[in-house]
Amino acid sequence: MKMVENVKKSMKDLRTGFERYPVTLLASVVLLVILISLNEMDMKDIDTEILGRIAMVVGLSLPLSISVAHLNEGLLARKPQFKALAFAFAAVLLVAYYFLFTEDQDMVTGMRYAATLVSLIIGVFFTQRLNIRLNYETYVTKVFYAFFLTALYSGVLYFGISAIIFTINSLFDAEIPDKYYMYSFLTVVFVFAASMFLSKLPRIEETFEDHKYTKALKVLLLYIVIPLITIYTGILYVYFIKIIVTGVWPRGLVSNLVLWYSVLSAGVIFFISPLVSENVVAKAFRNFFPIADLPILAMMFVSMGLRIDQYGFTENRYLVVILGIWALVAMVWFIAIRKLNNIFLPISLTLTALIAVFGPLSAFKVSEMSQNDRLESILERNSMVQAGAVVPNASIPDADKREISAIASFFESRETYDMEYVPEGFNTMDMKVVFGFPYDDNRGYPDDNYFYFFVPIENQVLDIKGYEHFVKAVTYQTNEYSLGTVSMKYDSANSELIFTGSSGELLKADFKAYYQKMWDASSTSAGKGEVSVKDATFTEENEKISVKIIFESMNGNLEDGKIRIDNAAYFVLVQVK
């Protein structure tokens, strides 16, 4: 009987969830259909661009529709005439997002979409409680509880469905396609999980006055998480003292470690707020940690400032800075406001995320402007600007060449950014014409032992006269090629291309010898840069076989004086005599 009652209660909860969030559940089913359709269309090589953009917007509609339903339950409860308008306004925003921000499928679009989705998800945690601040932390824990319980049940359900499919395939040779594992997962997420999660969300009338944190949660926060954060703080202070003594400022990794530590700590203070009045550990951490964190955040800002001064803003550095500013504001808030109104934290975090990806202060606008300013500074100090255009100059310092190359690569990888002083349609292959020197890809390889060559083989006419077989190959695929009566295989251990016939080995082509010749012919002194097709073409011949090898690219390292070729792309022409 108890089981029957539990089933009845669960069904009632699911019905309640549909009554509260019908738009969300409808959108969830629509997204399920779209995602399955996208996969089917992709397998049939059907263009999915428009449907993919629709899927992005429908995905945003899920958390947005929950927040609108919450506003209707809370702020707009006494204004029924505005409830339908709230959903209409949300629909207008989604349509605008579709036309304004989904057309270009690039890094900028992806970052903007991720930040927008995160901000809308955070909105689920506060939109219902904008005018009900009492026991807000408990409300948030209830939402998290609903999520984790849903994840547990959904995981068990998906595991069971997968086991059934696997068993049927194994026992009956049913050959159910693997795609149905994915479709089962999507169905569990967008039908079962969505329904269960929404049914578990707290209602507006719940006050949580008698709610107490579980003993397990208290032990986790007070006697595990807080001591770990305290020890981590001590380590950072020791490192801070080391910086003061040595005068050597930290690298970028430390900035990220400090940032996430501060953000996590702000979350811990948020959750222990209901315990401050009854627990000395919670009270001490709440009162003293925000003060202790300020010097550490200052260290992070100085470190990041030095890096930005040297290399300018990029999207990642911008995000570290703006999230660091939010963490700083949170700590000052904890210090200045003794009677906390913790709903400020998720609201301010949502605004921070939206500022980071929209408007003139976004990561994209700031990074574009910063890198253009950096380019202008380098060009002006080398007298390379005249009438708003670049004046080629091959005699500038190598360090400036690498900096300009890095900036050019930055803009080339971001199609929506505009690089100043260069012709329209400029890319790194045009470096020698526009700037007077070829592109130098030295980013991420400070070791001079690294080498990289590229060959501008596009739009080139290759001479294949006198050869019977033509192959395009790469070294990281050591597949054996059959060329009539001859086989060809790359030996990665010795960096040799070996040709074998019925009578045995016919010829070996030594890529290490080719490397040395391309190093000598490279257009940059560091062995990194452009090599002409002529200098990247090598011919080997004996009485049995004639071989021509034309390289498209090559990269590797010198280790203890020995050459190691990591990758090479090349064309092979063969004539058996």
Q: For residues 519 and 236, what is the distance between their CA atoms, to the nearest angstrom? A: 45
pLDDT in tens, 460-488: 788 888 899 999 888 876 678 888 889 99
Is the pLDDT at 7 greater than 60? The verdict is no
Q: What is the mean pLDDT of residues 372-389?
A: 93
Structure-model confidence comparison of residues 273 and 450, the more confident one:
273
Q: For residues 90 and 100, what is the distance between their CA atoms, to the nearest angstrom? A: 15
Output the average pLDDT for the chain: 88
Q: For residues 221 and 271, what is the distance between their CA atoms, to the nearest angstrom? A: 8
Q: What is the mean pLDDT of residues 309-331?
A: 94
DSSP state letters, 354-396: HHHHSSTTSHHHHHHHHHHHHHHHHHHHTT-EETTEE---TTS
* Cβ atoms 252, 307 nearer than 8 A: yes
Q: What is the mean pLDDT of residues 3-14?
A: 63
Q: For residues 143 and 133, what is the distance between their CA atoms, to the nearest angstrom? A: 15
Confidence of residue 443 (pLDDT cuts 50, 70, 90): very low
pLDDT in tens, 59-96: 999 999 999 999 998 877 777 778 889 999 999 999 99
Name the strands in the sheet holding 481-483, side by side, starting at the edge strand that comes first in the sequence. Answer: 481-483, 486-491, 496-501, 504-510
pLDDT in tens, 96-149: 999 999 998 888 999 999 999 999 999 999 999 988 877 899 999 999 999 999
> What percent of the chain has a predicted confidence (pLDDT) above 70?
92
Q: What is the mean pLDDT of residues 156-166?
A: 96
Lowest mean per-residue pLDDT among 154-168, 245-259, 382-396, 537-551: 245-259
Determine how many CB atoms are found less than 10 A away from the CB of residue 385.
Answer: 16
Lowest mean per-residue pLDDT among 186-200, 280-294, 307-321, 457-471: 457-471
Rounded-to-10 torsion of CA 347, 353, 357, 361: 70
Give 319's Cβ-side CA count (13 Å radius).
14
